Amino acid sequence: MRRAVRAAAAGLAVAAGCVLAGVLTDRGDGGGGGAGAPDGGRAGSIRTADRAAVVEPAARQDAPVLSGEDLDGNRVGLDGLRGQVVVLNVWGSWCGPCRAEADDLERLSRQTRADGVRFLGINTRDRDRAAARAFVRAHDVTFPSLHDPDGELLLRFPPALLNPQAVPSTLVIDRRGRIAVGIGGAVTDEQLRPLLARLVGEPS
């Protein structure tokens, strides 16, 4: 019984840690943010989803080279998605907020595909791919995810743009391969959709 209680408490602590990490990555200036923020967001800023903003094109940094195996051992990466708007979502099967946002992300992935939006996940800290694949099946996720158990892929990003300790996190990459949005913590369909609409509307 004690063992079960300790395991449950540990699970709650991990979930709380996910949320806390996301909140602590909010580097906004307290000005409200959002897709229509007058400054378009600051270069290199990570915000919580309710205050996320699109960085102006001139201030965007290039996304790093990102490729590897997905959960089924197939090769995937950002290079094959150039010319598309890419939603890059960092998640783990052990993370409660990741489970909370998964259905919204999958729904948005299907609804925006015709607009030239593609989703790519980075599965982190899951040593066992079976646990990650079970998560994917449970939420009917159709977009691929790179398997990154040690966080090596996450370390390719500047810490100001992606905090490896913040899971979940979401980046949106423009058609030219530049990071346009950085979100620490969970995100909903309603929060992400207007950001994608703005990027889809940008000239190629």
What does the pLDDT look like over 154-174, one tens digit per residue?
999 998 889 999 999 999 999
- Using a cut of 0.85, tell me whether the model's pTM lies above it: no
pLDDT value of position 28 = 43
What mean pLDDT is predicted for residues 12-25?
40
- Whether the pLDDT of residue 76 is over 60: the answer is yes
What mean pLDDT is predicted for residues 73-92?
97
Residues 184, 97: Cα–Cα separation, whole Å: 11
Q: Name the residue among 118, 120, 125, 192 with its Cα closest to residue 165.
A: 125
Q: Domain of 22: which CATH number?
A: 3.40.30.10
| Single-letter amino acid, residue 143 | F
Residues 53, 41: Cα–Cα separation, whole Å: 5
Q: Considering its fold, how many domains does the chain have in total?
A: 1
Would you give the DSSP letter of residue 53? -
Q: Which domain holds residue 81?
A: 2-200
In Å, how far from its chain's centre is CA 12?
21
